[in-house]
Amino acid sequence: MSKVVVITGASAGIGAATAKLLGSQGHQLALAARREPELRAAAAAAGQALVVPMDVTRRADHDRLRDAALREFGRIDVWINNAGRGITRRVLDLTDDDLDQIFAVNLKSALYGMQCVVPYFQQRGEGHLINVSSFLSRVPFATFRSAYNAAKAGLNALTANLRVDLRATHPGVHVSLVMPGVVRTEFPRVALGASPTQPPFAGPSQSAEEVAAVIAALIEHPVAEVYTNPAQAKIAEQYYHDVGAFEENAAKQGPWPPAPPKS
């Protein structure tokens, strides 16, 4: 059955791959991102799609996106909060500005999306909110992504709390969390600060298309939470089984990226 799907952060990476796959499946799409040329290219690859350039850090832009989708399609079935950006800073190196920027893009933007569309879903009695988080919000493999990991951990908490709030009163409104691991996209290149390669101990990487396939399946069969890479779900289980032992073992492997050799 064709659904109306809104995707933020749709100009590249997971968002663009998801749009392309869902478009091929016959879904109607409203695609949003800051970079308009790249967004229009992603819309063309997805087939016919509504293009809404926006800044996800502005609450009013989310309302404008919702209203544009409703005008175009008459309804919204699925809303995917996918926009995100990384930063390369360890905890002790973070500044106020670093946190403000990363939390605005990765956490506050998703909150704006939730507060924008969920009341509509409640009024309608059905709908599906999907928040794209990160495996790094659960396991501290890439400590140089500390602020990003913290923002995504906050997103996990907001998602879970919203889901519990809705479960008793609006069972037709689904809330899902997607947990990608390392994905081969432009994400490292556009992260704030120099971006090292992935930690070799973080497990195999995935393509954006592989993650998109998981999201498409989630739309058909909603669940509370899904890891896009089953191997990393097992790693998360090991971590929470014995946090201390896991972190001690990780520390023995040394920091990543390794410190440069002394001259």
The per-residue pLDDT for range 31-63, each reduced to its tens digit, is 999 999 999 999 999 998 999 999 999 999 999
Give the whole-angstrom CA distance, residue 50 versus residue 65. Answer: 10
d(CA 118, CA 126): 9
* Strand, helix or coil for residue 218: helix
Active site residue 227: no
Give me the pLDDT at residue 183, please.
66
Q: Token pair for residue 253?
A: 């492997």
DSSP 8-state secondary structure symbol assigned to residue 127: E
Cβ neighbors of 60 (< 8 A, separation 6 or more) are: none
Rounded CA separation 49/5 (Å): 10
- Sort residue 13 into left (φ over 0), alpha (ψ -120 to 50) or beta: left
Lowest mean pLDDT among 18-22, 90-94, 114-118, 249-253: 249-253
Asked if residue 251 has pLDDT above 90, the reply is: no
Q: How many residues does the chain have?
A: 263
Angle between helices 109-124 and 59-73 (to 10 degrees): 40
Between CA 117 and CA 128 the distance in angstroms is 10
Banded model confidence at residue 231, pLDDT cuts 50, 70, 90: confident
Task: Find the catalytic residue in 112, 120, 148, 239.
Answer: 148
- Angle (nearest 5°) at CA 113 between 141 and 220: 75
With H, G, I as helix, E, B as strand and everything else as coil, classify residue 28: strand
pLDDT tens string 70-129: 999 999 999 999 999 888 899 999 999 999 999 999 999 999 999 999 999 999 999 999
**Cβ count near 247 (within 10 Å):** 13
CA gap 91, 107 in Å, rounded: 18
> Alpha-carbon torsion 160, 226, 229, 47, what sign?
negative
Query: Considering the entire predicted model, what is its pTM?
Result: 0.92
With tokens 């689904």, the residue in question is 174
Q: Given this model, what pLDDT does residue 193 score?
A: 72
Which regions of the chain does DSSP assign to beta strands (E)? 4-8, 28-33, 49-53, 78-81, 127-132, 173-179, 183-184, 206-207, 225-227
163-201 per-position pLDDT tens digit: 999 999 999 999 999 999 876 655 565 666 766 655 555
Q: Which of 37, 103, 34 is nearest to 65 (CA)?
A: 34
What are the chain's domains? 4-252 (3.40.50.720)
User: Hey, is 170 helix, strand or coil?
Assistant: coil
Instruction: Match 């992603």 to its residue by tokens.
Output: 42
